[in-house]
Amino acid sequence: MTRLPLHEGWTLRCTGGDAPTTISTAVVPAQVPGSVHTDLLSAGLIEDPYLGENEAALTWVHRADWVYETTFEAEPIAPGERAALAFEGLDTVATITLNGAIVGRTENMHRSYRFDVTGLLEEENTLVVSFSSALTRAEEIAQEVGPRPHSYDHPFNAVRKMACSFGWDWGPDLQTAGIWKPVHLERWHEARLAQVRPLVTVGADGTGRVEVVADLEVAGAEDPGRRVRAELTAPDGGPIATGEVAVTGGRAVVVLEAGDVDLWWPHGYGPQSRYDLQVTLADGDRERDSWSRKVGFRDVAVRADPDEAGTSFVIEVNGVPVFIKGANWIPDDHLLTRVTPERYARRVEQSVAANINLLRVWGGGIYEQDAFYDACDAAGVLVWQDFLLACAAYAEDEPLRGEFEAEARDNVARLMPHPSLVLWCGGNENLWFSVDQDWDARLEGGTWGYGYYHDLFAQVVAEVDPTRAYVEGSPASPGFAPWEKHPNDPDHGLKHEWAVWNQVDYSHYRDEAPRFVSEFGFQGPPTWATLTRALAPQDLHKESAAFLLHQKAPDGNGKLDRGMAPHLGIPEDFTDWHWAAQLNQAHAVRYALTHYRSHWPHTAGAIVWQINDCWPVTSWAAIDGDERPKPLWYAMQAAYAPRLLTIAPRETGLVVAVVNDSDDTWDDTLHLCRESLDGVGQATEDTPVHAPARSVTLVQIPARLATPADATGEALVATLGEERTVHLFAELKDVALDPDALTASATRVGDGYDVHITASSLALDVTVLADRLAPDARTDRALDTLRAGESVTVHVTTEHPLETGLLTAAPVLRSSNDLHGVATD
């Protein structure tokens, strides 16, 4: 088979809606893959929607219609040859015509399409893809099937388009349109590989097996000489196994017994060995089609078992229970086609550097491009993939049901080769909402999606890829219907913790130890360089219209202030407020993570909302929309470290939790010291500790160390080997931290600067906000704790010359200490 990319020579024009005259009369060059917004930006016809208040000026796009058009040459169709237009993704409601004839219509951006054009192909061809408003179509379908409850303003649940394209509490409402994935003209004779599904398994004896299921599209009669061959090659290039079988009834199943194989492991547990799998279709000596991917051998199981505490939720890889140190993933740019393979790789690298071992692809986004899963495969990052339903009731009527099944089958098959993909999930928060919003009563028996979560998706995964686990939703109490056990019960399966942030202080994270927390988080603004790129200087205050447009959460600023007040106080100056809000976000998530990790194996995982942003915004992300790590990222890196100490109250009093998430035992002497802020010891004790591999060991703290003589002037320090934690006996705002505890100097080095910082008394969260001086500046560490007399060197990487004096003073050099005196309750 031959594939001719059709990505050149496209134009774009607006054909309906209330577009400005400069746009409604224009014909502009179009990039394919691409979108209307990116093309209009390139043509200079719209302002960047990510800056200032520009998003609000583009609401007319919601009702606009568009036409993409190109021409291409093609050789005449040969006898017995077939031709098809293959679209990997169209966003969303489209009509495709070739040489004036309609060849297909689409209403789903989450699936691929093929249209036979054998009888329409000419030497000179005109291809037109017309897009109509997805919002208008969603409203029409909602009327056809009956309205269903949904979050936010638009009926995104009535059309198969990225839900967050219609706006979310962290994302813009832009409602894109366009040919967002590649398009090809495919030509073939006799037969082609329509779909290849590699079922990769590992036996109890450690031997690998690949069952290659190849389904063909055949033109004409079956050829007895038609055969499918599969070959597996080792990571070092050596052949492992080959097999060849005849095609029968349009299908061939080739089984490859691989013998002893090198397993694929999540990072931190072992190597990420991958094998090359090559599949070819031939008639005699003539090759008709081929397919190749990398695969990995690993066995994955999800244990959702009843026990004395409720129902567990444990992910096992190769028989080893894994504490999931996760983060939720959203589309990395609202304008999807700007996310390149290199950008995916950078984000996965940042995740690994933060000690994350799982990314959950959230159900309001997209099934990501293969480059995302490739990067996770190579890095050893597990992937939890939601089916794309979020925060809404979804009708189980046509035309929606057929689209759900088609996209599910399409994407389950597409993603099968990736060893990183370990779990399919029915959707996001829909089971929970069905109970709390009483959908059964509100809809008077109308469907809301239960059949998708408990029947359709489970059936598709079982039929297409039985090597993957499936759970009906997040949150969910596995094994129970929503009306039998609340889907967000902390004792059963998966929990989303959103009372913190929305209703109560982050100290309430310690009120319970859920079995697995698949969503929780706290907001903070983006880095200063990102914020100042998006907002004009006059808009740099939290009540400006532009700032509020980039703060999508209801009462978001109010929740930020109420969240800061008990811990840091609320600074009046915006520069201080920005730092305090970022710091409080880091503290809140660190507080939750250390708590959850200390309860392993009862609590078997935590997935922070969220790792990334899709534009410059105040949000829950650890990496902002311009790819810069926020203080939260450094807090996650520390809280997800393989070895961790944390001090927390338990029934018996204050304890040190020694968390050892490594394959080696941790044997050392735990040194405890209650000391004044200037470093003078008040009480000490040494205790030998034996912490087995992949375990948590609790060490009781004696009362004489756990009880301060001066709660605002003392701290408890626990040290075990190279790990250390500091426990305060009062809230930060009440502790007598010295705001002038730091002295610093900076020196020029090869690729940037070294900032040498020394503390005269206890200094917390010592950070160099170097991006305030240069947009490319990055630091190798942040949120350091320094005891009296201790020093740290922070390395700043930048290509820009900086004034060393600016690196050693506020607002660049910051700590929790310097909020004293500038914040109020």
What 3-state DSSP class applies to 482? coil
| Residue 429 designated active-site | yes
Cα(403)–Cα(342) distance, integer angstroms? 31
Angle of CA points 400, 403, 405, to nearest 5°: 110
CB within 8 A of 782, min separation 6: which ones? 631, 634, 765, 766, 767, 768, 794
Six token digits for residue 37: 């917004």
What 3-state DSSP class applies to 501? helix
The answer to whether 648 and 654 are in contact (CB under 8 A) is: yes
**443: region left, alpha or beta (phi > 0 left; psi from -120 to 50 alpha):** alpha
**50: region left, alpha or beta (phi > 0 left; psi from -120 to 50 alpha):** alpha
Q: Are strands 421-425 and 469-471 parallel, antiparallel or unpaired?
A: parallel
DSSP string, 276-340: EEEEEEEETTEEEEEEEEEE-B--EEEE--EETTEE--EEEETTEEE-EEEEEE--SSSSGGG--
Helix, strand, coil percentages for the chain (3-state, nearest 5): 25, 35, 40
DSSP string, 195-229: EEEEEEEE-TTSEEEEEEEEEEEE-SSPPTTEEEE
Ordered strands of the 314-317 beta sheet: 300-303, 314-317, 320-322
Six token digits for residue 598: 């200390």
Counting Cα atoms < 13 Å in the Cβ hemisphere of 428 gives: 27
Q: Are strands 101-107 and 643-650 parallel, antiparallel or unpaired?
A: unpaired
DSSP string, 156-202: GGGSBS-GGGB--SSS-B----B--S-EEEEEEESEEEEEEEEEEEE
Angle between helices 457-464 and 400-415 (to 10 degrees): 30
DSSP string, 81-103: EEEEEEES--BSEEEEEETTEEE
Kindly report whether the peptide bond that precedes residue 601 is cis, defined as omega within 30 degrees of 0.
Answer: yes
Six token digits for residue 446: 């109308």
C-alpha 28: how far from chain center: 34
The single-letter DSSP state of residue 651 is: T
Query: In the chain, how many H helices and how many E strands?
Result: 17, 46
Euclidean distance between the first and the last CA atom of the chain, given in angstroms as a whole number: 69
Cα(417)–Cα(393) distance, integer angstroms? 31
- Collect contacts of 798-804 with beta carbons under 8 A, ≥24 apart: 798/751, 798/752, 798/753, 798/770, 798/773, 798/774, 799/774, 800/773, 800/774, 800/776, 802/746, 802/753, 802/770, 802/773, 802/774, 802/777, 803/773, 804/745, 804/746, 804/747, 804/748, 804/753
The single-letter DSSP state of residue 819 is: G
What 3-state DSSP class applies to 541? coil
CB within 8 A of 297, min separation 6: which ones? 200, 201, 202, 208, 258, 261, 262, 263, 264, 273, 275, 419
Q: Which of 190, 217, 429, 723 is catalytic?
A: 429
Q: Which residue has the tokens 């930006």?
A: 41
Q: Are strands 207-218 and 124-132 parallel, antiparallel or unpaired?
A: unpaired
Angle between helices 574-597 and 556-564 (to 10 degrees): 70
CB within 8 A of 126, min separation 6: which ones? 69, 70, 71, 98, 99, 100
* Residues with active-site annotation: 429
